[in-house]
Amino acid sequence: MGSFSMAETGALALQGIRVLDFTWIHAGPSATRILSDQGAQIIKVESNQALAVVGGPSSNTARGLGQRHNWNAGKRSISLNMKTDAGKNLARRLVAVSDVVAENFSGRVMPSWGLDYEGVRKIKPDIIMLSMSGFGRSGPWKDRVSYGQTLQAWSGFTNLTGFPDTRPSGPASAYSDAVGGMTGAQAVLLALIQRANTGLGQWIDVSQMEAMSTLLGPLALELSANKSNKTGVQRTGNRLSHGGGAPHGAYRCQGNDRWIAITVFTDEEWVSFVNAIGSPAWASEDRFATVDSREEHADDLDTLVESWTLNQSAEAAMQLLQTAGVAAGVVLTGEDMANNDPQLRERGTFQQVPDAAGVPRTIERAAYKLSRTPGSVTRGAPEFGADQDFVLSGILGLSDEELAEAAIAGAFD
């Protein structure tokens, strides 16, 4: 896909780090995918007894398949039946040779296997354990369950996302899972740095709710500072609640559901914008003369700006405005991103890796390009339980006899 090919020969920053990965659905696997890209060996522990979990509950759909490939590229998969002593025993032996254990089950699961932090640190004193959950592993809400949208609703994002005159739409996709993934990976990297400095492992308790609440930015400060504000904080559509400028929105262009985002903050940008669109008469009206008056008349201004964009292609309008120094961008669709956007293509944002059958599968790449340790993904997502030999014979050194015993004891059922 991309011509910007990630160096396959560079050093891998996390080479030699092994992660025993019990995570499922989105947030957990996307956290460990970040580590995998940098050379950490991720052993995904799956189970015949659970859902076909890796891509989430819809992994039997094309979209679910895509998510499995995207979030699990480069990992290894083994199948263990954790309801059996033999399965649990093998998991404990894997903990002993791992640097990180990651999980995002509900709070009772890991303790029931003896694999909560107290359990795993007895096996490996300097282990780093990442526990991710909706609300954290303490406090009155610790046993509540959530999906991405539950957390978006509960944290306040859903009610604030949308237009003032429509009901809340909320984020269209599971932003809180992506945020949980980033947060979990950050915490593991911090813990690895800490371990390199001190020799100590630790337990990481990520509440995805807290991770989302941090991204409300200064809202908690605002609410506490302005308790007397009776109108409260409301949805603002495509405008900013503070320091917005105008125009600041998405405007319809030629074609079917084509849009451009345009933002003008300063007087200088306004002059550039007006010149670029051919100085229509309305643009010289007094009510649009200053930042404050443009904001005051933003609704009218939006209508007038759209009267111009309606006759433009979104791509041509972006180019025209950007050439004039105005921040403008096409509202890209999934198809645009995959096929049409020259910047993403040049940057190599997407990559193809072979799956187990050699079929090329498209995955996303890291949004940070590191000059010395760019990372590398050479394998697609593993088939369920595909790496039984690699892990149990190769890493744990189990003999054929031991493997047969474990199988008889139900470890792989």
Partner 1 sequence: MDLSGDLGVYCGKLLADVGADVIKIEHPGGDAMRRTGPFVADAAPMENSLHWRHYNTNKRSITLNIETSAGTDLLGKLAATADVVLESFQPGYLSAKGLGYDHLSEANTGLVYASLTPFGQTGPYRDYKASDLVGFAMGGYMYVTGWPDTSPNKLWGLQAYQTTSNRAFIGILIALFHRLATGEGQYVDVSMQEAVATTTEHVNTTYNYTGESAIRCGFRHGGQFIATWQCKDGYVSITTNTAKAWDDLRAWMERDGMAGDLMDEQYNDRFILRGEHGAHIEELVEAWTLTHTRAEITEWGQANHHPWGPVTTADELLGMEQHWERGFYLVPPGEEELVYPGSPYKMSENGWRLNSLAPGIGQHNHQIFCEELGLSAEDLQALISDGVV
Q: At a CB cut-off of 8 Å and minimum separation 6, what does 257 contact?
A: none
The residue (of 158 and 293) whose beta carbon lies closer to partner 1 is 158
Stretch binding partner 1 (CB under 8 A), from 9-17, 82-90, 389-397, 401-409 = 9-17
Which among 78-86, 142-150, 288-296, 377-385 is the span making contact with partner 1, rule CB under 8 A? 142-150
Least spacing, CB of residue 31 vs partner 1, in Å: 10
Minimum CB–partner distance for residue 232 and partner 1 (Å):
5
**Residue from the set 87, 329, 380, 382 that interacts with partner 1 by CB under 8 A:** 329
Neighbouring residues of 383: CB distance < 8 A, sequence distance ≥ 6 = 77, 355, 356
Does residue 177 carry a catalytic annotation? yes
Work out which of 157, 273, 288, 412 binds partner 1, going by CB under 8 A.
157
Q: How far apart (Å, rounded) are the C-alpha atoms in residues 94 and 92?
A: 5
Instruction: Please count the residues of this chain forming the interface with partner 1, following the rule CB under 8 A.
Output: 154
Q: What is the DSSP letter of 330?
A: E
> Rule CB under 8 A: is residue 97 a binding residue for partner 1?
no
**Phi and psi (nearest 5°) for 171?**
-60, 140
Is the Cβ of residue 38 or residue 81 nearer to partner 1 in the bound state? 38
Q: Decide whether 223 or 396 has the Cβ nearer to partner 1.
A: 223
Q: Is the Cβ–Cβ distance between 164 and 236 less than 8 Å?
A: yes
Determine whether 242 is exposed, middle or buried from the number of CB atoms within 10 Å of its CB (0-12, 13-18, 19+): exposed
Q: Does 161 sit near partner 1 (CB under 8 A)?
A: yes
Sign of CA dihedral 233, 237, 240, 246: negative
Residue 166 in the binding site for partner 1 (CB under 8 A): yes
User: How distant, in Å, are the alpha carbons of 61, 254, 277, 288, 396 from that of 320?
Assistant: 41, 15, 8, 21, 61
Q: How far apart are CA 412 and CA 403, in angstroms?
A: 10
Contact (CB, 8 A) for 331 and 260: yes
CA distance 24 to 59: 11
Q: Least distance from C-beta 293 to partner 1, angstroms?
A: 18
Nearer to partner 1, 297 or 345 (CB): 345
Q: Does 274 bind partner 1 (CB under 8 A)?
A: no
Q: Residue for token digits 């526990």?
A: 131
In the set 28, 74, 249, 382, which binds partner 1 (CB under 8 A)?
249
Find the catalytic residue in 177, 302, 341, 387. Answer: 177
Backbone angles phi, psi at 322, to 5 degrees: -65, -35
User: In this complex, which beta carbon is closest to partner 1, that of residue 220 or of residue 407?
Assistant: 220
Q: Is 250 helix (H, G, I), strand (E, B) or coil?
A: strand
Give, as ranges, the residues between 179 and 238 that touch partner 1 (CB under 8 A). 179, 182-187, 189-194, 196-198, 200-207, 209-211, 213-226, 232-238
253 part of the interface to partner 1, by CB under 8 A:
no
Considering only residues 368 to 397 of the shown chain, the ones binding partner 1 according to CB under 8 A are 368-373, 375
**Any idea which residues carry the catalytic annotation?**
177
